[in-house]
Structure 1
Amino acid sequence: MSASRTERLLNLLLALLNTKVGLPRAVLREKVYKDSAENDVAFGRMFERDKVDLKQFGFEIETIVDRSSFGNDDPGTTRYRIGKDSNRLPEVVLTPAESTVLLLAAQLWERAALGTAAASAVRKLQAAGGFTDVDLPAGVQPRIKPAGQAFDDVVAAMHGRHTVRFGYLAGSTGREEQREVEPWGLGSRFGQWYLVGWDRARGAKRFFRLSRMTTAVTAVPGSSCEPPAGFNARAELDELNELPLRQATLEVDRDRLLALRRRALAAQEPAMGSPARDRVVVEFRDPEQLAEELASYGPRVLVQGPADLRAAVVRRLQAALDFHTSPAVAPTFPDAGRAPRARKRTSEDQLARMLQLVPFLVHHQGLHIQEVADRFGISRRQLIDDLKILICSGLPGGYPDDLLDIQWEDDHVYISEHLDLNRPVKFSEDEAAALLTGLAMLGDLPQLAGMPEDQPGSALESVTIKLTGAAGKAGRLAGSVSGQSVAPEQSQSFATITQAIRDSQQLHLRYLSLQKDEITERDVDPLRLYSLDNTWYFEAYCHSAAGIRNFRLDRVESLAANGRAASHTATAGQDFPARLFTPSDDDVLVALKLTRQGAGLADDYYAERTAQRPDGGLLAEVRFGNAGWVPMFISQHGGAVRVLAPEAVHTETGTWLQAALSQYESASGSVAG
């Protein structure tokens, strides 16, 4: 949609906000629609559409009807206005501690629709002047990575109250089926994200694991639905029973895969007929979850049973090989850097940003234009385009004093006339859900490093109360999203590292290195703790490697202070979230092709360049510290990603996949499932 439509919507809003008695249709057509509507019919259609659009922002247009002496309505004298307090964000004033907790909650949502909504909500609080600019505590930075594109698509459908359609791998039958579901809520349990909704074909409530969705989630055209009154995703997910504990029998290459062997139930035995392998038994609950790990080990492990786990591994490997041998595309990147994920931008998006931009500038006079652009996550050019529309917008009179007055002198932005747009609009449903659900997820987090002992709990409680009140009816969607706890399972290691960060002390640790497949010993200066879902890491300066490294808490064999002060050779990076991968000159740069469902991997692995594909997928250039990791990566994400270049890595990956699958071939040459 064109910028002229954005300008028209903004001018209509300003006109209706700044009138006490209301404006008749004739004035609106002459002053607001003069360059848009060719005749009365076109004007009528546009005005009705624009009223609907403004209502989506919560601006209810009041209709004032003058009645003649005969008691009949006269359309010519009907007037329209919007109350000045219509849909304005209530005043919310946060203490520094509350602002810190809120910022942590907002930044939990890594690269997801709710992450965008949370950032927008924080900007509204900043624009209203009630948010204290704070830095995140260096010690603890949790974050959540929801289940890829399916999560975003379901959130959008719930927000729009649309029925969704998707392919689904049924756990009971192992067959792919088409499902049509009224989405009621999303939540995380047992390390997996679930959709709760009404299955239209079965006429019953069902739970759907997002990782089992085999196609894109699409809204059913013309559909609408409502969750049951009082629906609460957390309460619904409490009905789910954890899958029963089962045992998997595996053949594992001798002296390899220590991470897997650590979980073995008993001493390993030599595999029958395979002198170079051991028989290993591990416990598991979710075959799909374990299959993802086992597929990544490729030919180094063979699943003997149970059958559903074996089939799940084979399916991943076969999908990876099928994608590997599909027609290749040239890995070309027309633009330097990362291409934005495809999403249709509308004038509603632009107007929403402007309704935040004006009050933000009112409360942050004189900021550098690039800093303003960075705060809104847009380019300098996009911001200037917004400002150009704003300075041409105003009241129907069109006089200089009737226009928004914004200047940017020496690249510093000032606003002297805001025309009653000095307060941002209320939280949308997804904005309220992002903040309130994020705050709930912080509830089990231990003491935040860098904050006084008595502040996190009380600040969490008080900011939740304030935001619940400010959200009002928009908090509806918050009850439809239930996140997982971000509390670390390795509580003792967490406490030891947190204390060492506070006291600036070194730590000695014994650590299982997955890359080297061995236990290593190191002295490190801990810098910060951070999580990805319920897996916790700590960033540290490693004296053995003479550089910053990242360590998973669940791979730490032992951890204790070594009695020495931290060297302060390095400090925690300023980036958020912390990166799991530290680039070096020895990295291998690999060109990848990702499907639409796998496109999020470009973000997960810090792609340096990306290019959008017509089908919604991506081309991406990703650094790997070791080329040997690439086949494992491709196998793990069976069918979501393939190697395009270098050719040697592509060939090695194909050989790896063929070798892994050949283990499962029966005497007839078919793949056993």
Structure 2
Amino acid sequence: MPADLTEVLVSLVYTLLSKKNGISAEFLRSRVDRYQNIDTETFQRYFARDKGELERLGIPIETIQREDTNGRNTTFYRILPEKYRLDEIEFSAPEAAAIAMAASYWGEDALGNAAQRALARLGVESTELEHSVFEPRVSSSEPAFGQLLEAITEHFAVTFTYANPVGEQSVRVLEPWGLGQRFGHWYVTGWDLDRQAQRIFRLSRILNEVKRAANEFTHERPSDFSMREALNRMKLDTGTSSASIELREGRGISLRTRAEEIVESEEGWDRLTVRFDNVEDMAKDVAALGNAARVLEPASLKRAASSLVERALEAHRTAVPTYELRKPKKSAGRIPETVKVARALDMVSYIHDHGGATFAELSEHFDLDRRTLQSELERLSLCGLPGGLHDELLDVIIVGDDVNILNAEHLNHKVRLNLAEAFSLMVALELMSAVPGVGDDSVVESARSKIEAATGHFSNLSNAITARFVASEDPERWSQLYDAIENHRVTRLKYISGGRDALTERVIWPVRLKEQTGRIYLQAWCTSANAPRVFRMDRVRSLTVLDEHFADDAAELAKVPTDLYSPLANADDVVVKFGARLRPLLPEFTPTKVSTKQSDGSVIAEISSAGDQALRDLVTSHAGHFEVVAPPEKRREIKEWLEDASKMHAESGNQPS
């Protein structure tokens, strides 16, 4: 039976902490089941992999050279207790509340889980986002995220294939210095070895797995480097470019309401002149109209819109993946080994700090059912000095509902925060500092300084990371709406209905603003429809706050959904595929069934439809990462719609600009 890797790694930590003079490779090969009966090369590969897993947990293994008892120069390994233990940090009640609230900004992804583990280790109780004027979410869903963050702190070069805004691809080699979020996107910056200059890359444009490059790391991060300043130099210009676009008569109301000029073109078509800020966002607006829109100029917008359609079409031309839908579980997917090891070590220190614990307390604290908890405790009872005697193993004592652990003095201290945990809290607190109405800025800064001091082993991490919400870029723009929400003022909107492709007027009771993946939404009770509604703020053409106030009717406001995806009433179910980078968005769609066992990390889910146009928007804007799978006729309909759009863009590309 193969050795349980969690048991091996916990025992490795126990052993390397317990022997201050270190443990030789020969000892490990003779005592650890996983390392026995294998050749030297395989052992070295296994041990290097296990060391890497522990170092990702923030547990550094020190290598020392000295003579063994036979006088031979030998390599020994050890973990120094002072580099393992988390220093005690005392937070004031306001600081603890700020940290807990900031951590809740993360969605249900890897960094969201890391933030919750960090809270538990710091002794801060987690919390859910409370009802407030502005409720933001941040996500680390880009597949390149983890490798780039590790490269920044470990100082190694990486290589990847990158697509520019119009889809042109190139292979890049980068020595990364910093990682940050702005304008709703994550960016990495560093020294581009091909261009021999500092460059910034958007993570969503990285097309393949980020790999460690063979190149030596030659350009260290400058001492005065600041990721915040690097992103500050990026400008989101307003209306700096102009496009000439033809639309079928009566279509594309969103573009028509933004047009500077509309003239008749050939029969059944109108030609628009529209100013825009960002070629990618404009391309999404055009692509979502299918064969009802064609770009005349600029060429960059033509290529960008065509690229979105072609990538979506390519996904729908591939064979439908095999899948089996089941009701979603709370924790779907394989738990990474580092998470299981961290949980095991945290469980030992938690039981020690509390002088023992009950099954109920452990189940609640670690969010485990009794059966899984029993299995975790049984595994811990096998951990300790490999091949050791009874008093050299963890002694897990269970009496009725009470649990205690003896022989665990080397693991009784909390392990220091790892990279993901430190990053998640540092970024969340920086985001919080710019959120309106969250409290005292000095409290947030004080909490961040204490966490920064506890994570000093990550080479000045605070200068290498940054993030800000889109809403914090221009707070004055939202102040009128904040006031309407706080003071319960009735508001009138002129709003583009995507499903109907029409300009509508709505009278609403605004409840909250939410931000997710760079897009801002307004959740409200719509008196026009006498129902809750979610409005995309980029589709609002005018907003007027009226003198009329609405009552703070808890019963009515409770009906306003917290989810951003709004399926149609009595909507049909569709089966769709969420690419790996879209997995964090899955909960917003409230899937009724899921299939998570896809080799590419994607998830196939059954959701209620929000209408044909909503599906088309998702298909084109995510360009191959969101795919309609079933029913077959709906997939065929989407594919044919994309083929028609592809032909239209091809014909447009042949026309003179």
Do they fold alike, i.e. is TM over 0.5? yes
2:118 alignment partner in structure 1 = 121
1:180/1:606 CA distance change after superposition, 3 Å: farther
2:280 alignment partner in structure 1 = 288
1:456 alignment partner in structure 2 = 440
Q: Does the 8 A contact of 1:8 with 1:32 survive in 2?
A: no
The residue identity in structure 1 corresponding to 2:145 is F
The answer to which of 542-551 and 134-143 deviates more is: 542-551
List alignment gaps of at least 5 residues for structure 1: 449-454
Q: Does the 8 A contact of 1:249 with 1:304 survive in 2?
A: yes
The answer to which of 377-386 and 505-514 deviates more is: 377-386
1:178/1:615 CA distance change after superposition, 3 Å: same
2:294 alignment partner in structure 1 = 302
The residue identity in structure 1 corresponding to 2:549 is G
1:164 alignment partner in structure 2 = 158
> What's the CA shift string for 1:472-492, capped at 9, x where partnerless?
122634432222345356746
Q: Does the 8 A contact of 2:498 with 2:613 survive in 1?
A: no
1:186 alignment partner in structure 2 = 179
Cα separation, 2, equivalents of 1:616 and 1:137: 32
Using the TM superposition, give the Cα deviation of residue 423 of structure 1 relative to its aligned residue in structure 2, in angstroms: 2.8
1:407/1:67 CA distance change after superposition, 3 Å: closer
Using the TM superposition, give the Cα deviation of residue 52 of structure 1 relative to its aligned residue in structure 2, in angstroms: 7.1
- Structure 1 residue 11 corresponds to structure 2 residue 4: no
- Structure 1 residue 446 corresponds to structure 2 residue 442: no
2:620 alignment partner in structure 1 = 635
> What's the CA shift string for 1:524-546, capped at 9, x where partnerless?
362x4321144333434445555
1:379/1:494 CA distance change after superposition, 3 Å: farther
1:623 alignment partner in structure 2 = 608
Cα separation, 1, equivalents of 2:404 and 2:221: 48
1:237 alignment partner in structure 2 = 231
Cα separation, 2, equivalents of 1:91 and 1:609: 42
1:544/1:367 CA distance change after superposition, 3 Å: farther
Q: Does the 8 A contact of 2:296 with 2:655 survive in 1?
A: no
Q: Does the 8 A contact of 1:493 with 1:553 survive in 2?
A: no
1:254/1:409 CA distance change after superposition, 3 Å: farther
Matching of residues 19-98 of structure 1 within 5 Å: 33=32, 37=36, 57-60=58-61, 73=71, 83-98=80-95
Q: Does the 8 A contact of 2:158 with 2:212 survive in 1?
A: yes
Cα separation, 1, equivalents of 2:116 and 2:67: 44
1:480 alignment partner in structure 2 = 464
The residue identity in structure 2 corresponding to 1:646 is P
The residue identity in structure 2 corresponding to 1:660 is A
Using the TM superposition, give the Cα deviation of residue 344 of structure 1 relative to its aligned residue in structure 2, in angstroms: 8.3
Matching of residues 543-582 of structure 1 within 5 Å: 543=527, 545=529, 547-554=531-538, 555=540, 557-560=543-546, 562-570=548-556, 578-582=562-566
Q: 1:403 aligns with which of 394, 410, 417?
A: 394
2:208 alignment partner in structure 1 = 216
> What's the CA shift string for 1:41-77, capped at 9, x where partnerless?
8999699756776566435558697999xxx95779x
Cα separation, 1, equivalents of 2:595 and 2:529: 31
2:130 alignment partner in structure 1 = 137
Paired residues in the alignment total 645
TM-score, normalised on structure 1? 0.80
Cα separation, 2, equivalents of 1:176 and 1:42: 38
Cα separation, 2, equivalents of 1:153 and 1:47: 20
> What's the CA shift string for 1:85-122, capped at 9, x where partnerless?
44211112223322232233323343555434333322
Cα separation, 2, equivalents of 1:523 and 1:166: 47
Q: Does the 8 A contact of 2:187 with 2:201 survive in 1?
A: yes
1:534/1:192 CA distance change after superposition, 3 Å: closer
Cα separation, 2, equivalents of 1:375 and 1:582: 33
Where 1:550 maps in the other structure, the secondary structure is: strand
1:337 alignment partner in structure 2 = 328
> What's the CA shift string for 1:286-311, capped at 9, x where partnerless?
22221122211223333222121012
Q: 1:260 aligns with which of 248, 255, 258?
A: 255
1:525/1:295 CA distance change after superposition, 3 Å: closer
Q: Does the 8 A contact of 1:429 with 1:475 survive in 2?
A: no
1:451 alignment partner in structure 2 = none
1:205 alignment partner in structure 2 = 198
Q: Does the 8 A contact of 1:196 with 1:206 survive in 2?
A: yes
The residue identity in structure 1 corresponding to 2:309 is L
1:660/1:97 CA distance change after superposition, 3 Å: same
Cα separation, 1, equivalents of 2:33 and 2:564: 55
- Structure 1 residue 269 corresponds to structure 2 residue 253: no
Matching of residues 354-503 of structure 1 within 5 Å: 354-362=344-352, 372=362, 376=366, 382-394=372-384, 398-399=389-390, 403-405=394-396, 407=398, 409=400, 418-448=408-438, 455-474=439-458, 476-488=460-472, 491=475, 494-495=478-479, 498=482
Cα separation, 1, equivalents of 2:634 and 2:345: 49
Where 1:250 maps in the other structure, the secondary structure is: strand
2:313 alignment partner in structure 1 = 321
Where 1:318 maps in the other structure, the secondary structure is: helix
1:523/1:177 CA distance change after superposition, 3 Å: closer
Where 1:565 maps in the other structure, the secondary structure is: coil
Matching of residues 581-660 of structure 1 within 5 Å: 581-582=565-566, 586-596=570-580, 602=586, 605-607=589-591, 608-660=593-645
Q: Does the 8 A contact of 1:523 with 1:543 survive in 2?
A: yes
1:228 alignment partner in structure 2 = 221
Q: Does the 8 A contact of 1:508 with 1:524 survive in 2?
A: yes
Q: 1:151 aligns with which of 125, 145, 161?
A: 145
Where 1:14 maps in the other structure, the secondary structure is: helix
List alignment gaps of at least 5 residues for structure 2: none
Q: Does the 8 A contact of 1:103 with 1:136 survive in 2?
A: no
1:618/1:190 CA distance change after superposition, 3 Å: closer
Cα separation, 1, equivalents of 2:357 and 2:551: 40
Q: 2:243 aligns with which of 245, 248, 254?
A: 248
Using the TM superposition, give the Cα deviation of residue 279 of structure 1 relative to its aligned residue in structure 2, in angstroms: 3.2
Q: 2:97 aligns with which of 92, 96, 100?
A: 100
Cα separation, 2, equivalents of 1:413 and 1:585: 50
The answer to which of 434-443 and 110-119 deviates more is: 110-119
Cα separation, 1, equivalents of 2:361 and 2:269: 58
The residue identity in structure 1 corresponding to 2:148 is V
Cα separation, 2, equivalents of 1:642 and 1:597: 13
Q: Does the 8 A contact of 1:441 with 1:486 survive in 2?
A: no
Using the TM superposition, give the Cα deviation of residue 183 of structure 1 relative to its aligned residue in structure 2, in angstroms: 2.5
Cα separation, 1, equivalents of 2:65 and 2:640: 75
Q: Does the 8 A contact of 1:634 with 1:641 survive in 2?
A: yes
Q: Does the 8 A contact of 1:164 with 1:217 survive in 2?
A: no
Using the TM superposition, give the Cα deviation of residue 169 of structure 1 relative to its aligned residue in structure 2, in angstroms: 2.6
Cα separation, 1, equivalents of 2:144 and 2:53: 27
Where 2:107 maps in the other structure, the secondary structure is: coil
Where 2:409 maps in the other structure, the secondary structure is: coil
Q: Does the 8 A contact of 1:60 with 1:86 survive in 2?
A: no
Using the TM superposition, give the Cα deviation of residue 22 of structure 1 relative to its aligned residue in structure 2, in angstroms: 5.5
